Amino acid sequence: MSNKHIDRRAFLKGAAVTAAAAAITTRIAAPGEAAQTNATETEAKEPARMSERIIGRPGSDFMVDVIKATGIEYIASNPGSSFRSLQESIVNYGGNKKPEFLTCMHEESSVAMAHGYAKAAGKPMGILAHGTVGLQHAAMAVYNAWCDRVPVMIFAGNFLDADKRRPGVEWYHCVQDPAAMLRDFTKWDDQPASLQHFAESVMRGYKPATTPPMEPVVITADGYLQEASIQNEKKLHIPKLTRSIPPQGDSGAVAEAAKMLVAAERPVIIADRIARSQEGIKRLVELAEALNAPVVDLGGRMNFPTTHYLCRSGDRRATVAEADVALLLEVGDPWGQFNTVSDPHHEYRRLGKPDVKVIHISLGETLTKSNYQDMQRFMPVDLAIFGDAQSTLPGMTEAVKAATSLARRAALAGHTDKLRNDHRRMAERARNSASQGWDVTPVTTARLAAEMWNVIKREKWCATGRQDWARSLWPATEYYNFIGGSGGAGVGYTAPAAVGAALANRDNGIITVDIQPDGDLMYAPGVLWTAAHHKIPILMLMHNNRAYHQEVMHLQKMAALHNRRMDTAAIGTVIEKPNIDFAKLAQSQGVWAEGPISDPSKIGAALSRAVAVVKKGEPALMDVVCQGR
């Protein structure tokens, strides 16, 4: 509808309210509700003049319709004037529901929240970034999502038409090609020049974002298109959202792979970013059982139950070293499974058998760009199958069964006792090493994980953050138990990704627990406020080693290499003097918190109090002073 068609009375009424709203206090909307204004507090100024300029139906309303049509439920964002109209439309026109605006304190937090959310929810979140500066802040988190093959729908505000830009800051924040700075690590981008173009680009972009290998996509919401009134709305239409079915690997190649695996003496399955749902886990269990082959879950996703006798994730090196045929499923670093380069001497060492036969089912491997090196070292494989691993598994299992003679089946079944013993020994070893230093202060990471397990073991749980001990100690069978890692190891991911996952888990009765490194939280601790404000229940258990501990170790290594004093390794790497009081940091943002706790015997009771808060639907933080790693 254009200006001309707007009813004059509604127009004037709207003008009075709008002018008043500019000068009065706005009642802040609670999450999920639209903001309301109290127009009686002040006189409206110049209603008649404003009325001439009212935009009754801004383009951003249509943009909201488009976003709604994708099913995106949340838009995480730090506000910025390049999308002020879209933000206002989300709240007032869209009712702040589906999508709901999530207030973030850093664009990196917006994207990392979307990253964690997508893995827990199985669908992308939108984020809104403010022109140059917003996208610059978002960049590292986008890179993490790219490396982790996770979809994020990135919307960026920008005024492309220089003739319409306000002088000063608006110029600094506008950019000729907004997506350029993210183009090396996003799957697709567009800068729509009309509202119809915007509708088509969002529907077009959603498809590659959510088709494996899933990746972030950037679409500009031009500021002028947002703010100008819609012309000729009848001509606009929102195309249907269509999704692509991920491809299965070629059936001939799958049959050949099955024969290699059935004939192998020591097959191994190495799984990384394969499962997308419980169905993915089920399919991998079926394949592993058909082959009676050990599975190493690298943990990019929750792929395989830790309780299953074929799980050998804690025995990765030994299991891979003896394999004669390896089936890789969407593995991010194939070369690194069979080879290594030592630290600090950079010397090559082979880990796998020289003649191990390698099969890789992957789509991600073919999605490479030139500059960023997330493709990892080149690894020639014996059989590369282009296909989506989860979709290919049922065909692979069928082919394995078809290739297994009765005699072979009996021979494979004969391995079971040994495989069960191996699994038992692996679990025992993990328990033994976890019990070392059980009572020491500062607390060990293993003790932290064990205490956490005690309070959540009867719940539906999802573990984020530092998951190493949880993965080897906790019985995990459900897809929602683990969300994997950051992808690109860009620090600052853990806390916001945990909050994003917790948001997705909130409605499913799943308790999200985050073993949270201190250095990571300090990148953008405002995500605690976001969790409190939006009532996102999460239990953040601080792994507070008062250091960038990994970097302490690097500095120690270098000092040893250079044969120099080691005590200086703390300079620039420890976070002491003063110690950060994480409980106060959390409390100041409205998050229930306790700590610091140094005595391991006090953690259990404190965690029970924290879980009670989380069960009420709110975030809680427990600060525990911990050992290095």
Residue ranges binding ligand TPP (CB under 6 A): 140, 489-492, 517-520, 545, 547-551, 629
Residue 491 contacts which entry, Mg ion, ligand TPP, none (Cβ below 5-8 A, type-dependent)? ligand TPP
CB of 623 to ligand TPP, least distance (A): 13
- Site residues for Mg ion, 501-520, by CB under 5 A, read 517-519
> Residue 552: helix, strand or coil by DSSP?
helix
> Residue 624: helix, strand or coil by DSSP?
strand
- Site residues for Mg ion, 386-425, by CB under 5 A, read none
CB 484 within 8 A of CB 460: no
CB of 250 to ligand TPP, least distance (A): 38
Alpha carbon distance, N-terminus to C-terminus of the chain: 60
Nearer to Mg ion, 162 or 489 (CB): 489
CB 17 within 8 A of CB 37: yes
Question: Other C-beta atoms within 10 Å of 133: how many?
Answer: 17
Which residues neighbour 250 within 8 Å (Cβ) at sequence distance 6 or greater?
A: 385, 386, 387
Nearer to ligand TPP, 398 or 551 (CB): 551
Residue 225 contacts which entry, ligand TPP, Mg ion, none (Cβ below 5-8 A, type-dependent)? none
Give the C-alpha separation, 266 to 263, whole Å. 9
CB of 549 to Mg ion, least distance (A): 5
Residue 520 contacts which entry, ligand TPP, Mg ion, none (Cβ below 5-8 A, type-dependent)? ligand TPP
- Site residues for Mg ion, 517-546, by CB under 5 A, read 517-519, 545
Nearer to ligand TPP, 550 or 587 (CB): 550
Q: What is the DSSP letter of 235?
A: G
Q: Does 442 bind Mg ion (CB under 5 A)?
A: no
CB of 523 to Mg ion, least distance (A): 12
Residue 2 contacts which entry, ligand TPP, Mg ion, none (Cβ below 5-8 A, type-dependent)? none
CB of 220 to ligand TPP, least distance (A): 26
Nearer to ligand TPP, 112 or 462 (CB): 112
Nearer to Mg ion, 547 or 569 (CB): 547
CB 230 within 8 A of CB 194: no
CB of 519 to ligand TPP, least distance (A): 3
Nearer to ligand TPP, 238 or 483 (CB): 483
At position 264, the amino acid (one-letter code) is: A
Give the C-alpha separation, 104 to 114, whole Å. 11
CB of 111 to ligand TPP, least distance (A): 13
Nearer to ligand TPP, 266 or 554 (CB): 554
Q: What does the radius of gyration of the chain's CA atoms come to, in whole angstroms?
A: 27
Secondary structure, 3-state, 144-181: HHHHCCCCCEEEEEECCCCCCCCCCHHHHHCCCCHHHH
Residue 436, token pair as written in the block: 């070392």
**269 φ/ψ angles, rounded to the nearest 5 degrees:** -110, 125
Sketch the per residue contact string, 549 through 588, with Mg ion: x for CB under 5 A, - otherwise. Answer: x---------------------------------------
Query: What are the start-end ranges of the H helices in 457-542?
Result: 468-473, 494-506, 518-523, 527-533
Which helix (H) or strand (E) element contains residue 409? helix 406-413
Query: What are the start-end ranges of the H helices in 228-375?
Result: 251-263, 278-291, 316-321, 335-338
CB of 544 to ligand TPP, least distance (A): 8
Residue 489 contacts which entry, ligand TPP, Mg ion, none (Cβ below 5-8 A, type-dependent)? ligand TPP
CB of 515 to Mg ion, least distance (A): 11
Nearer to ligand TPP, 207 or 629 (CB): 629
Q: Considering CB under 5 A, how many residues would be counted as binding Mg ion?
A: 6
> Residue 110: helix, strand or coil by DSSP?
helix
Nearer to ligand TPP, 383 or 491 (CB): 491
At position 103, the amino acid (one-letter code) is: T
Nearer to ligand TPP, 112 or 125 (CB): 112
Residue 629 contacts which entry, Mg ion, ligand TPP, none (Cβ below 5-8 A, type-dependent)? ligand TPP
Q: What is the DSSP letter of 241?
A: P
Nearer to ligand TPP, 51 or 573 (CB): 573
Residue 483 contacts which entry, ligand TPP, Mg ion, none (Cβ below 5-8 A, type-dependent)? none
Nearer to Mg ion, 312 or 466 (CB): 466
Nearer to ligand TPP, 19 or 547 (CB): 547
Give the C-alpha separation, 187 to 60, whole Å. 25
Which residues neighbour 116 within 8 Å (Cβ) at sequence distance 6 or greater?
A: 464, 483, 496, 497, 498, 499, 500, 501, 502, 504
At position 187, the amino acid (one-letter code) is: K
- For 92-98, the CB contacts below 8 A with 24+ separation are 92/34, 92/35, 93/60, 93/61, 93/64, 94/64, 94/68, 95/34, 96/29, 96/32, 96/33, 96/34, 97/32, 98/68, 98/71, 98/72, 98/73
Residue 320, token pair as written in the block: 């891979």
CB of 521 to ligand TPP, least distance (A): 8
Nearer to ligand TPP, 226 or 545 (CB): 545
Residue 34 contacts which entry, ligand TPP, Mg ion, none (Cβ below 5-8 A, type-dependent)? none
CB of 488 to ligand TPP, least distance (A): 8
Place of tokens 């959603």: 206
Q: Which of 82, 168, 86, 88 is nearest to 130 (CA)?
A: 82
**31 φ/ψ angles, rounded to the nearest 5 degrees:** -50, 135
Residue 10 contacts which entry, ligand TPP, Mg ion, none (Cβ below 5-8 A, type-dependent)? none
Residue 115 contacts which entry, ligand TPP, Mg ion, none (Cβ below 5-8 A, type-dependent)? none
CB 505 within 8 A of CB 511: yes
> Residue 296: helix, strand or coil by DSSP?
strand
Give the C-alpha separation, 79 to 302, whole Å. 34
Give the C-alpha separation, 330 to 333, whole Å. 9
Residue 551 contacts which entry, ligand TPP, Mg ion, none (Cβ below 5-8 A, type-dependent)? ligand TPP
CB of 70 to ligand TPP, least distance (A): 30
CB of 108 to ligand TPP, least distance (A): 9
Which residue number has the CB closest to ligand TPP?
Answer: 519
CB of 143 to ligand TPP, least distance (A): 9
Residues at the contact surface with Mg ion, assessed by CB under 5 A: 517-519, 545, 547, 549
